[in-house]
């Protein structure tokens, strides 16, 4: 018997679109369980809490990430342990992750940065060897596929973001997904102020939980977005292909797509070769002067003031300075991209 969400005084209509959105995403991903949330951060917070992570524990993740991947670890009193990235995918280096495991390590978070895929087989093997769950932060990886499995459907649990910048958006919002029945039950309880799905008494919390619900209105937008998910992902892939073709021969690398994988290319990014002089700030200033929105690459989290510096993460500490996120929107025109391409080529002396 499948548990239901606890009933509310107003009946189930306030959950109608939430349930529909969860069902649509479950089918898209090929997973058993999904819980719509107010943010990906909230989904990650609840998932980590359901794993029992707390004070004194450690969670390993890549140094280059948005802080939303690390913040929920600190909410629980645990410590984020930042390890270096791979120079090609910009995602967590599995060997560095394994070297960082201690008796306190309770999870590894694999963040699929900018749509690029982590080496999940290697990470899962490490997790199995050490008895540590591998979690997928797939906030940026809608549309990415790893050897036949969609990003977010592979680890102990996955989380997604539907922030306004993402390929699929509900304005703000997130999703927790898992194939683990017990973990789903724990997170569903936590997501509803600690009221168990089996609890028959109204307004009776069994534990202190959280309030990270997605609203029905946001979920209705999500349902409409899911109807055109392939179109939106195809738009991102078209944009990336155009940039890549027009940067052919330049001293830079872009988001990789290893054999057997598909990259959703949430954020097309360039990393300029080490030996080339490149002034990132000057490039972004020229973008801004032409009303083009470019972005810096994520900073290594360990250089932020609230964390300890880790200069031994050499790839992370070098790469971010040579990298830029390019404009992307599913129906961006070639003429619009040409403006950005022209400025990049000029800065790399390939007018």
Asked if residue 261 has pLDDT above 50, the reply is yes
Which domains occur in the chain, in start order?
Answer: 13-226 (3.40.640.10), 229-347 (3.90.1150.10)
Question: What's the rounded mean pLDDT across residues 1-12?
Answer: 51
**Structure-model confidence comparison of residues 208 and 5, the more confident one:** 208
Q: What percent of the chain has pLDDT over 90?
A: 95
Considering all CA atoms of the chain, what is the largest pairwise distance in Å, rounded to the nearest integer? Answer: 70
Locus of tokens 């969609």: 150
State yes or no: pLDDT of 19 exceeds 80. yes
Tell me the torsion sign for CA atoms 243, 245, 250, 251.
Answer: positive
pLDDT digits (tens, 9 = 90+) for 153-169: 999 999 999 999 999 99
Q: CB-based contacts of 86: which residues, under 8 Å, 6+ apart?
A: 92, 93, 119, 315
Residue 10 above 70 pLDDT?
no
3-state secondary structure 186-240: HHHHHHECCCCCCCCCCCCCCCCCCECECCHHHHHHHHHHHCCHHHHHHHHHHHH
Query: Using CA atoms, how far apart are residues 267 and 98, in angstroms rounded to an integer?
Result: 28
Average the pLDDT over 140-148 and give the result: 98
What does the pLDDT read at residue 11?
54
CA 322, distance to chain mean position in Å, is 22
Model pTM score:
0.95
- Assign 9 a pLDDT band (cuts: 50, 70, 90): very low
Q: How confident is the model at residue 13 (pLDDT cuts 50, 70, 90)?
A: confident
Mean pLDDT, rounded, for 286-293? 97
Residues 196, 200, 205, 211: is their CA dihedral positive or negative? positive
Is the pLDDT confidence value at 88 over 70? Answer: yes
Sign, CA torsion 177/269/262/131: negative
Q: Provide mean pLDDT across the span 88-93.
A: 98
Active-site residue, from 79, 166, 186, 310? 166
Mean of pLDDT over the chain = 95
Tell me which DSSP letter residue 75 carries: H
Predicted pLDDT at 129:
98
User: 244 an active-site residue?
Assistant: no
Report the distance separating Cα 150 and Cα 197, nearest Å.
Answer: 28
Check whether 3 has a pLDDT greater than 70. Answer: no
pLDDT the model gives residue 1: 40
What pLDDT is attached to residue 12? 66
The Cα 326–Cα 299 span in angstroms is 16
**Helices (H), ranges, 262-333:** 280-289, 314-319
Q: Sheet harboring 252-254: ordered strands across?
A: 252-254, 269-272, 323-325, 295-296
Q: What is the dihedral of CA 178, 179, 183, 184, to 10 degrees?
A: 70
- pLDDT of residue 64 exceeding 50: yes
Give the tens place of pLDDT for each residue, 228-241.
Answer: 999 999 999 999 99
């Amino acid at each position: 018997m499948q548990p239901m969400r606890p009933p509310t005084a107003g009946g189930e209509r306030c959950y109608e679109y939430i349930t529909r959105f969860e069902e649509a995403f479950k089918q898209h991903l090929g997973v058993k369980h999904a819980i719509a949330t107010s943010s990906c951060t909230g989904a990650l917070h609840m998932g980590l809490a359901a794993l029992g992570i707390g004070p004194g524990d450690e969670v390993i993740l890549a140094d280059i990430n948005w802080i939303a991947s690390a913040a929920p670890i600190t909410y629980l009193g645990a410590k984020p342990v930042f390890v270096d990235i791979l120079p090609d995918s910009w995602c967590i280096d599995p060997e560095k992750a394994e070297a960082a495991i201690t008796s306190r390590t309770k999870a590894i978070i694999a963040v699929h940065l900018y749509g690029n895929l982590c080496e999940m087989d290697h990470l899962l093997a490490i997790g199995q060897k050490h008895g540590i769950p591998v979690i997928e932060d797939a906030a940026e990886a809608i549309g990415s596929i790893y050897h036949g499995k969609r990003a977010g459907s592979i680890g102990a649990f996955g989380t997604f973001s539907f922030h306004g910048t993402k390929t699929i958006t509900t304005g703000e919002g997130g999703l927790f997904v898992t194939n683990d029945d017990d973990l789903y039950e724990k997170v569903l309880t936590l997501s509803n102020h600690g009221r168990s799905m089996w609890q028959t008494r109204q307004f009776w919390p069994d534990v202190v939980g959280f309030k990270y619900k997605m609203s029905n209105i946001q979920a209705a937008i999500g349902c409409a977005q899911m109807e055109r998910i392939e179109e939106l992902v195809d738009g991102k892939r078209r944009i990336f292909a155009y940039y890549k073709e027009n940067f052919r021969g330049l001293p830079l690398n872009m988001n990789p797509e290893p054999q057997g994988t598909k990259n959703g290319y949430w954020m097309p990014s360039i990393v300029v070769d080490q030996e080339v002089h490149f002034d990132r700030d000057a490039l972004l200033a020229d973008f801004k002067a032409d009303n083009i929105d470019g972005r810096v690459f994520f900073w290594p989290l360990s250089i932020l003031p609230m964390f300890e510096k880790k200069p031994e993460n050499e790839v992370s500490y070098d790469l971010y300075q040579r990298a830029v996120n390019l404009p992307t929107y599913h129906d961006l025109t070639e003429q619009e991209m040409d403006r950005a391409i022209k400025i990049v080529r000029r800065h790399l002396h390939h007018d």
